[in-house]
Chain A
Amino acid sequence: MAIGVTLGLLGALGAISKFRPVRFLVGAYLWIFRGTPVIVQIIFWYDATAELTNNRINLSSLVAGVLALGVNEGAYMTEIIRAGLISVDRGQLEAARSLGMPYGLAMRRIVIPQAIRVILPPTGNQFIGMLKTTSLLFTIAVPEIYATGVNLYSANFRYFEVLSVVSIWYLMLTSILTFAQRRLERHFGYDRVTVGRSGDGVLARMFGIGAGRGAR
């Protein structure tokens, strides 16, 4: 996910760059990594790299998996972050520049902090989607949750129990992410009352219902 966000930030800055070759490069990146299925990319990283380099580069299944998901995620994050950046009024950048801020400083201090508010909700989606996509890594034998489940039920044929446990694990992990997302949104939602206040319970924070009536 860190790879995804980093690539996404670089990609988005590249996409709004005034240098045509940089924009072209980002366009090609998006075209390839958004345009092909993740499972194809995963196997590409794992098996095709070894084949192409005559086994000189032989990624372990974990490294291949992390790279495949990170680079793929980066393509989607590029678009999410680009959407955030262009959502910030152009006048903000102009005001920053008129005060003598160089481009980088203006982006870092003025534009990006305001873009984050728009970037967060779809990023939450993206992270949760990604977490579940890790189940595809079972194809290259990464010992992740789903693969462990498959091993179990193919030994004992208790599909219901095993898959229930697997689902509960995913739910627990996605709940943590959802919770973190809400906290971050509250932190960056400087100009509106966001869903959930500090006094609210877990349910209120996750679903925006219950005690505090925090919803706008």
Chain B
Amino acid sequence: MALVEIRDVHKRFGEHEVLRGITLDIEAGEVVCLLGPSGSGKTTLLRCINHLEKIEGGTIRVDGELVGYRLTSKGALREETDRVIAARRAHIGMVFQRFNLFAHLDALANVCEAPVHVLGRSRAAARERGVQLLENVGLGAKLHAYPHELSGGQQQRVAIARALAMDPKLMLFDEPTSALDPELVGEVLETMKSLAAGGMTMIVVTHETGFAREVAHRVVMMDEGRVIEEAPPVQFFDAPAQPRTRAFLSKIL
């Protein structure tokens, strides 16, 4: 069974149908990059996976469980209570385009917040783990820096450490390098590469084709709310099957 099972997912914002029947499986340990023009629904799909967005149809299962819903006896989807949703989200890490570090907490406190208050770990244990995670992303010297004292690349690495502190089964990356100055992109991609090398399951919305080519096991092309092509990176970039994919790649490469 796949770690993430997405089945015929539909989502609309008012009149606009953003997702028009997405079906996708992601295996444990797999790194999947979502590519596509803006407005194709890739970020929305990512946000649906941890139920930051509701869906109107279809199902999304992570590790066999529906994330924001339960099935009624009649087979309809009912939204779960806040607490149940929160508990399911706890093991799905998410990294945002704009970092979203907690502005009133320093780097280490950002990382320790959820392990202490959600998982109920002791402060000492969370702290020890937090220091280790921040060292792993190269920020051992910035434990007590506040977000506004860090560069974008450093903030994003703290955000990755913060998500990892929850021992996620799955990491979602929403354009993690799009808000960064060009010279800071590399350090974040390096951190993500070593995460992938460690066997983490990752779904990455990105425009970094170099990263997709080098790290992804599979590249998924989305357009107008549908998956139009999925292939291993070599095949995807060197011999795309769909004309729409070719047109898109010719614009961004």
Contact = CB atoms under 8 A, between A and B. Distances in A.
Contacts of A157: none
Contacts of A102: 82-83, 86
Contacts of B117: 101, 105, 109
Interface string B29-60: 00000000000000000000010100000000
B103 A100 contact: no
A105 B148 CA distance: 24
A99 B146 contact: no
A62 to B, nearest CB: 39
A97 B88 CA distance: 11
Contacts of B92: 98
Interface string B119-134: 1000000000000000
Interface residues of A, number: 20
Given A101-B86, A190-B146, A109 B113 contact: yes
B100 A89 contact: yes
A95 B118 contact: no
B166 interface: yes
Given A94-B52, A98-B50, A98-B94, A103 B82 contact: yes
A189 to B, nearest CB: 10
B237 interface: no
Contacts of A199: none
A94 B100 contact: yes
B89 A92 contact: no
B220 interface: no
B148 A100 contact: no
A72 interface: no
A114 interface: yes
B102 to A, nearest CB: 6
Given A94-B96, A95-B96, A100 B102 contact: no
B107 to A, nearest CB: 13
Secondary structure at chain A's binding surface: helix, strand, loop or mixed?
A: helix
A95 B165 CA distance: 14
A95 B93 CA distance: 10
Interface string B48-83: 001010000000000000000000000000000011
B98 A100 contact: no
Contact of B98 (A91, A98, A101): A91
Contacts of A103: 82, 86
B218 to A, nearest CB: 24
B104 interface: yes
B7 to A, nearest CB: 22
Contacts of A91: 96, 98, 100
B87 interface: yes
Could you say which of B50, B92, B93, B102 has the most chain A C-beta atoms within 10 Å of its C-beta?
Answer: B102
B162 interface: yes
Contacts of A110: 102, 104, 113
A95 B166 contact: no
Contacts of B101: 95
A139 to B, nearest CB: 43
A210 B104 CA distance: 29
Contact of B103 (A97, A101, A105, A114): A114
B234 interface: no
Interface of A: 89, 91-92, 94-103, 105, 109-110, 113-114, 190-191
5 contacts: A95-B94, A95-B101, A99-B162, A102-B86, A105-B118
Given A109-B113, A114-B103, 7 more contacts: A95-B96, A98-B96, A99-B114, A100-B86, A100-B119, A191-B104, A191-B148
Interface of B: 50, 52, 82-83, 86-94, 96, 98, 100-104, 113-114, 117-119, 146, 148, 159, 162-163, 166
Q: What 9 A-B pairs are tightest by C-beta distance, nearest first? A: A100-B90, A95-B100, A99-B114, A91-B100, A98-B94, A102-B86, A100-B118, A100-B89, A100-B86
